[in-house]
Amino acid sequence: MTNTLDHLHRLYAQTDDPWNFDNSPYEQAKFIATRRALTRHGYTSALELGCGNGALASHLAPLCANYTGIDAVERAVLAARKKVPEVHFILACYPCRWPNEEYDLVILSEILYFLTPNDIERLARDVAKYAPRAEVICTTYLGDTEQALQGNQALTLFRQATQPHLNFVKVVDTGVYRIDRGVWREAS
């Protein structure tokens, strides 16, 4: 994760919006598609790992009574707090201690490929433990991630690790990114 953190810190060194979230039609369309992938009009408590500068939170937080975003880059967290001041943002690098709350929405937008296979397995266990019954939204970039894992590889690992608990459905596939929604399997 050290190389990944160094990479993220370099990206945020010059700007708090290194992916042009605020002005890119592509990014804005992806945020809208992510919001449309949700099945409910409201959530009690949401968790977004890798929240960046809060751009996606600004689209999703209005649907949630409580929204928590976690990011590993201080500049991103500070920008997120300015962009969406009503949201709770935490500076932390996953794997980290899961916030003390039970979530009914978990957002994993373009973060899985920044993790190791072991971290992805831990994340699957954390979701099962701390977010039982949560809707899980995975937005995955399909191009070259410049990371050890590519998007589809990381998503496949997460889906396999959560298979005993979650059933995933592909909601959107643009060829550049995909959005999958995980819902809990009914106990037999």
Residue 131 in tokens: 């977010």
Q: What percent of the chain has pLDDT over 90?
A: 73
pLDDT interval class at 100 (50, 70, 90): confident
Other beta carbons less than 10 A from residue 14's beta carbon? 9
- Residue 62 has a pLDDT of 97
- pLDDT single digits (tens) 40-66: 999 999 999 999 999 999 999 999 999
Quote the pTM value: 0.92
Residue range 2-184 forms a domain whose CATH class is: alpha beta
Residue 35 in tokens: 């919001």
- The dihedral formed by the CA atoms of 150, 151, 154 and 156, expressed in degrees to the nearest 10: -120
pLDDT interval class at 99 (50, 70, 90): confident
- pLDDT single digits (tens) 168-177: 999 999 999 9
- pLDDT single digits (tens) 2-14: 576 676 667 667 8
- Residue 12 has a pLDDT of 63
> Mean of the per-residue pLDDT values for the chain?
91
C-alpha distances in Å from residue 134, one per residue of 2, 110, 112, 127, 182? 30, 18, 18, 8, 8
Q: Is the pLDDT of residue 16 over 80?
A: no
Q: How far apart are CA 133 and CA 113, in angstroms?
A: 24
